[in-house]
Structure 1
């Protein structure tokens, strides 16, 4: 990671991410985390766009690995100033700023920092995606695709941090003294011309109503009735100027959001891993699971089984059943053994058939 070649450093970081995603190895990282973080910090400060993106992703994966260990908080305090500076710097490319939004919110969520720091970061994220609010004359702002990706990433990061807020404090978050955030402002994002912004805004509304109703069953009833018509239009959108795939994705998402706003029901999703089952029956759990899936990909089942942090987040009772579930290395060895056995059988069968087909065998 300290070599002179920029592409070489990027390759090293990407390979480390793949390794740390596929296998749970907190002790290996804990013994080397200072060296790894020093290189990540150097890449974030001096590297190019690809190097900064890879470094931000590696920082998040390390926090997933170390979990509740004190080292996670140290990593967060070390890298937060760099990530925050790049996130708020308008001279930095939009895609890099989007990566910083995602990495910083993920690390804040995983490190378990103070709620005051969480609220402050939410305000900073809101200052980024507020550029997608309607203009003073009520018109929809015309933003580029790259900027829309940044705004969607900032809203998604804001949504993740919202899951950490106490339901009793939700009203203070959306109606703060500075009046920078409100349900009316958030609903303006539903009129964006970009799908990612609309879907992230709809998810934010669902999370706000879920937390608010956990504290007060009659939370913002008037606003819920007003916004239902807009949600219905998005859930049944058939405009031909939008891509078919986008329309399908939007309708599926907003049908679930509309059903929750009107009937207070969330479609239940079951995730099976090993002999255990994780039930995603709230918007909060769905959001947290989605973020961890984006970090870990298909290997999330391994971490749900072995990683104590993930088991704490989703309240999975009992110690990790490591004795019954094969590790990744054992699974790979078993697959290799089966492939070798099948190859040997195929070779023997081919030789046998070749001999029988040979006409000289008749003599």
Structure 2
């Protein structure tokens, strides 16, 4: 496995200026788990085969089905086994003329990154897609596709960008997009949140002095935007810069920071804790970087977030979450050996025929008792097998 990144722990400010909280019950988990069993490996293999079809509608339907399967369950083994095929077929779909197919392929790539976690595959995913997505940020004009490109570039770099230079390279691509294509208002806020996600994974001492000197005045100016999403993104980015420290890396004149009221950036001047219910447990995050990561991942996974939090080791590492193992509703204890004691008065047996009749005849009480034990064990094993299959 490749080197894991040193993930920070923290959160995101939503449109209302407050941190959102989602609640999920055991029913949510059970429904997702039940539905995921309906999409087995055979179906997923079928969807993968359909990505080779000539008809665009067939490929689009297959991509949609793959997205659904990732939302309903944690498809780690399937993703590992079919990683290369999924990666390269999605890249082919991304490059096609169909906006719908291209957007669906981007969603699959993002979900694939979250599912396979850190390692050689995630680094390959980064290397094969980062440059393609970065280039697309300079040429694409469809707002929805731009937003998905930004999301996908951010998450594949967050997970698969092993080196500092790789993370900063993607941050630079997003930074250039924010400056050179500011007229795309709908994608501008997505760019800010994506840039903040990558910044949340870095330590202050690792940041370059030359790349982000203009960040503070840039985001400060965006606070005056008439677009609420952009304002919230800028507010979050500034709050993250405050928390990381080393302000001289983000501003030539650090005295300008005194003009920004921190209490206007963070509610009451501090970061409220986010508590998310995962089954009977609670995931709690109370630092800004981890909350940014939580909200970003939760948005990408949608209804699959709870299932992934229960089973995805990457998310366990990122959010320091240790899920409790589910207990069987009923425990079935099966004795390895059954013995029956029978008090039976047997008169003195003087002939072999009498012995055979009493001890070995099919009507013998000994034989009947032994048969009952075998039948009972057979019923228990059948019940246990049926319970496992359910």
TM-score (norm 2): 0.65
1:324 aligns with 2:327: yes
C-alpha displacement of 1:13: 0.7
Paired residue for 2:195? 158
5 Å matches for 1:103-252? 103-131=152-180, 143=183, 147-170=184-207, 172=208, 176-177=209-210, 181-212=214-245, 222-228=255-261, 232=264
1:138 corresponds to:
none
Paired position in structure 1 for 2:143: 94
Match of 2:115 in 1: 65
**What residue number does 1:299 align with?**
304
The SS at the match of 1:46 is: coil
Number of the residue aligned with 1:20: 70
| Conservation of the 8 A alpha-carbon contact between 1:88 and 1:97 | no
Q: Which residue of 2 aligns with 1:289?
A: 294
Asked if 1:74 is matched to 2:158, the reply is no
Displacement of 1:116 in angstroms is 0.8
1:190 touches 1:198 (CA, 8 Å); kept in 2? yes
Instruction: Give CA deviations for 1:217-258 in whole Å, capped at 9, x if unaligned.
Output: xxx9854431119x74xxxxxxxxxxxxxxxxxxxxx5xx25
Structure 1 pair 297–167 and aligned structure 2 pair: CA distance change class (3 A): same
* CA 1:202–1:42: 2 relative to 1, 3 Å: same
Asked whether the equivalents of residues 160 and 288 of structure 1 are also in contact (C-alpha less than 8 Å), the reply is: yes
**1:40 is matched with which residue?**
90
Gaps of 5+ in 2: 1-50, 330-386
C-alpha deviation, 1:68, in angstroms: 2.1
Between stretches 91-100 and 197-206, larger displacement belongs to 91-100
Return 5+ residue gaps in structure 1 as ranges: 134-142, 233-253, 327-333, 338-363
SS, match of residue 132 in structure 2 = helix
Secondary structure of 1:8's match? helix
Q: CA deviation at 1:79?
A: 2.0
Measure, in 2, the Cα distance between the counterparts of 1:283 and 1:177.
24
Task: Give the secondary-structure state (helix, strand or coil) at the position aligned to 1:85.
Answer: helix
* CA separation of 1:182 and 1:75: change in aligned 2, threshold 3 A: closer
Task: State the structure with more CA Rg.
Answer: 2
Give RMSD over aligned pairs. 2.8
Task: Work out the CA distance in 2 between the residues paired with 1:292 and 1:308.
Answer: 14
How many residues are treated as equivalent by the alignment? 278
Report if aligned partners of 1:29, 1:66 keep a CA contact under 8 Å in 2.
yes
Q: Deviations over 1:150-172 (max 9, x none)?
A: 111111110000011112245x4
Question: 1:39 is paired with a residue of what secondary structure?
Answer: helix
Deviation at 1:85, TM superposition (A): 1.7
Distance 1:186 1:160 in 2: 15
Q: Residue 6 of structure 2 aligns with which residue?
A: none
Change (3 A) 1:100 1:8: same
Judged with a 3 Å threshold, the aligned counterparts in structure 2 of structure 1 residues 178 and 293 are, in CA distance, closer, same or farther, namely closer
